[in-house]
Structure 1
Amino acid sequence: MGRAKRRDLVRWHDRRVTREHVLIGATELAQRLKAGEQPTILDVRWQLAAPDGRAAYERGHIPGAVYVSLEGELSDHSVAGQGRHPLPSGRDVEAAARRWGLRTGTPVVVYDDWNRAGSARAWWVLTAAGIADVRILDGGLAAWTAAGGALQTGVVTPEPGDVTVAHDDLYAGARRTLTAAQAAGVPLLDARAPERFRGDVEPVDPVAGHIPGARNVPSTSLLADDGTFLPDADLIRLAGDDAVGAYCGSGVTAAVVVAALAAAGRDLALYPGSWSQWCCDPTRPVERG
């Protein structure tokens, strides 16, 4: 590799461009792997209709990638009253991250194959726990294969890692969050599909509608046709000037909005309980239309 190429592949944490602190392109990831760098790569396949992505992972994943279960490792379903995907504790994140092979000082790349939902959740959980240098593969698995990246089948079992987390309570961790009471009084972006926001349909939660005053910015509207995040100026325009936080059905796709705005230099809070927590209290107001 030529000297100019080596200069281009600077250390990950020496970058000063905000977008590059949140995202990494498939071509850059391939270059780094070819140059001998060994980031920890996590495959976070998850869809609302197919929450277990392990079988898809085993059929083909980025070489060296370790499968991460959003349902089992990036959520704690033993927690009551916090919506459908309660945040895990920092201690549980640390134990899982060590199983995935995360090591102190080693960069992490997270990816998925559906609208950046799984990777954004992983990015949010890991960075909220205080794990540094985590980036989302822009465009997901499709971008990797489109760039000519090879796939590996089967299961990767890494050597245990040694990473430590700085925050045990992710609701008060390194990223801003909102409680239901706080969400009631601030401008919010609702990341769900328009028909769910309006209350036309509600396939998951017991009540249809949205938090009064929220504005609908579907997480998919922040992505280009190829699944990559839109340019910064477009992300800022879509988010508007006054938004303080983001929510969705259960705190998963709202992380896509938070990540997108972080890439564009805006720090939004996440309402982790989201609509699934809000609508379960009959005293909370509901808006439709």
Structure 2
Amino acid sequence: MNAIISAADLATELAGAHPPVVLDVRWQLSTAKADGAPPFDGRAAHAAGHVPGAVYVDLDEELAGAAGPRGRHPLPDVAEFGAAMRRAGVSASRPVVVYDGGQGWAAARAWWLLRWTGHPNVRVLDGGLPLWEGPLSTEQQAVAEGDFAPEPGAAGLLDADGAAALARSGVLFDARAGERYRGEVEPIDRVGGHIPGAVSAPTTENTGPDGRFHPAGELRARFAALGAEEGGQVGVYCGSGVSGAHEVLALAVAGIPAALYVGSWSEWSADPARPVAVGAEPQ
């Protein structure tokens, strides 16, 4: 099953007899505005216009736990996540399509969580809401509760020790910007740099100017050049497990299974005992 869907195909499916559940996960990493404007409000954006029938899901409240030693966006409590998905109308037997404001990171986080907890049919709207050509709705429709019962998988998830081991035995991609990987700047976390052995692979290089993913063949070639071999073990981390989910999604488009270190650099760097590498090389 393809992990992404075009706006045209989504419009066709929504007009069909068995439309998917659509989740609106618009979110921004930084809400600080130098010009004094109010922070981004995903719920307000949803209320102002969304794909007809879409239900808003809050990344910080429903797709992550409270920030702390496990990182800025740790895994949510599984039972609470399941309850949130059922409130949004998610059922195991019905396809789900997720979108955000175009960056793709938040939508990918929802995609990854649903896939990791066992939903069999989840796709991300390629390019997000900016590429939606249909009408927008301001209606807040009542949603019938779904029956999705999350069952976390044994694969697809890395902890800090697993990420460190994978950096030595397989390929661990760092999805952050190159300057953060190299340790030249660190605007958020305690210290800059990267997990020793990790390979720099900024997730921004997986998409074109319109936010859509590059073709699968191009993505496969990119990841192969960075060391991802067919049948090899691949993992990804980022700052807090959000943009890293987008890289896992890009790898899925390329046909390469990958695990996500959800705690990512925000967890790793918070522990002074964990080693930190700097510079352009993995070691």
Does TM, normalized by the shorter one, top 0.5?
yes
Q: Does residue 261 of the first structure (1) align with residue 251 of the second (2)?
A: yes
**1:137 paired to 2:125:** yes
1:31 to 8, 12, 24: 12
SS in structure 1 at match of 2:23: strand
Correspondent of 2:149 among 164, 172, 175 = 164
Structure 1 equivalent of residue 189 of structure 2: 205
How far apart are the structure 1 equivalents of 2:209 and 2:154? 32
**More moved, 247-256 vs 30-39:** 30-39
- The amino acid across from 1:105 in the alignment is S
For 1:252, the aligned partner's letter is V
On the 8 A contact 2:102/2:130 being kept in 1, the answer is no
**Cα 1:122–1:91, aligned 2, differ >3 Å: closer, same or farther?**
same
Q: What amino acid sits opposite 2:134 in the alignment?
A: G
The counterpart of 1:69, out of the listed 58, 61, 79, is 58
Evaluate the alpha carbon distance shift between residue 104 and residue 284 of structure 1 in structure 2; reply closer, same or farther with a 3 A threshold. Answer: closer
Deviates more, 1:63-72 or 1:32-41: 32-41
CA gap 1:209/1:110 in 2 versus in 1, 3 angstroms: same
Task: State the Cα distance separating 1:283 from its structure 2 match.
Answer: 1.5
% identical aligned pairs: 49
Shift of 1:238: 2.0
Deviation at 1:166, TM superposition (A): 2.2
Stretches (4+) displaced over 6 A: none
CA deviation after TM superposition for structure 1 residue 115, in Å: 1.5
- Matches of 2:20 and 2:177, distance apart in 1: 34
Map 1:104-123 → 2, pairs under 5 A:
104-123=92-111
Partner of 1:8: none
Query: How many residue pairs get matched?
Result: 261
Q: Normalising by structure 1, what TM-score?
A: 0.85
1:177-213 CA deviation, whole Å, 9 max, x = no partner? Answer: 1121121132311111122222222111111111122
- The whole-number CA distance in structure 2 between the counterparts of 1:155 and 1:193 is 37
- Call closer, same or farther: CA 1:94–1:30 in 2, change over 3 Å: same
SS at structure 2 position matched to 1:256 = helix
CA drift of 1:154 comes to 4.8
Contact 1:232 1:264 in 2 (8 A): yes
Query: Quick check: 1:43–1:57 contact (8 Å CA) kept in 2?
Result: yes
Q: Is 1:239 matched with 2:198?
A: no
2:184, 2:139 → 1: CA distance?
Answer: 41
Structure 1 equivalent of residue 173 of structure 2: 189
Task: Give the deviation of 1:226 after TM superposition.
Answer: 1.4
Q: Deviations over 1:151-196 (max 9, x none)?
A: 11253441222222223xxxxx254111211211323111111222
Moved more, 188-197 or 30-39: 30-39
Aligned partner of 2:160 in structure 1 is 180
Give the Cα separation in 2 of the matches to 1:239 and 1:76: 30
* Separation (CA, whole Å) in 2 of partners of 1:34 and 1:157: 19
CA contact (8 A) 1:130 1:174 kept: no
- Kindly report the root-mean-square deviation, in angstroms, between the aligned alpha carbons of the 2 structures: 1.7
Unaligned runs of 5+ in 2: 32-39
1:215 is matched with 199
- Looking at structure 2, the residues matched to 96 and 157 of structure 1 have their Cα atoms a distance apart, in angstroms, of 15
Q: Does 1:94 align with 2:85?
A: no
Unpaired runs of 5+ residues, structure 1, are 1-17, 168-172
Q: CA deviation at 1:52?
A: 4.4
Q: Distance in 2 between matches of 1:287 and 1:155?
A: 49
Q: What is the deviation of 1:34?
A: 2.0
Q: What is the one-letter code of the residue matched to 1:287?
A: A
What's the TM-score once normalised by structure 2's chain length?
A: 0.87
